[in-house]
Amino acid sequence: MKFKARVWKFGDNINTDLILPIQAFYLPAAEQPKYVFSANRPGWVDQVKPGDILIGGKNFGMGSSRPAARSLKNLGIACLVAPSINGLFFRNCVNFAFPAIECPGVHDAFEEGEIAEVDFEASVVRNAARGVTLEGHRMPPKLMALVKAGGIYPLLEKEGLIAPKP
């Protein structure tokens, strides 16, 4: 999995309440993305283009287990790169097939609007304009397989462990 796109930056300790506000939580999944970051960056969803990359700060995705990763994916964000990602949020990223990678130094390597190149297989993040290449933490093979399979539910359906969605 390789991505190359414009980056959007967010700071440290961004919690799932900011990513997916409570007013969106009970809406159908297809309607939730229009509320992403509405509390701290109103109008941001109207600027995002499919394939854009999110660069987070430390402890990105802290807080509750609400399906904020699914909303980022459904909004069209290609992937998340952050120095550290909250463990529960990271697992939700995997479950919803939203590629996420921890990469020390990534927040300082980009300004918003610059182009990032992210190679999940090699665990490399690059800012070609600045000549910066960073090595991220490799996703364990079983988790990478889950992401490539489309997430936990499609994989379980494929293996016959749960019934397909009607």
Indicate which CATH number applies to the domain containing 134: 3.20.19.10
Predicted local confidence at residue 63, as pLDDT: 86
Domain that holds residue 18: 2-158
Residue 148 lies in a domain: yes
Residue 65's alpha-carbon distances to 59, 78, 160, in angstroms, are 14, 21, 26
Q: What is the tens place of the pLDDT at every residue in 19-66?
A: 999 888 888 889 999 999 998 999 999 999 999 999 999 999 998 878
Provide the domain count of the chain: 1
Residue 165 lies in a domain: no
Predicted TM-score (pTM) above 0.75: yes
Kindly give the pairing relationship between strand 2-9 and strand 53-55.
parallel
Q: What is the tens place of the pLDDT at every residue in 107-140?
A: 999 999 999 999 999 999 999 899 999 999 999 9
Percent of the chain with pLDDT over 70: 100
The span from the CA of 81 to the CA of 95, in Å, is 17
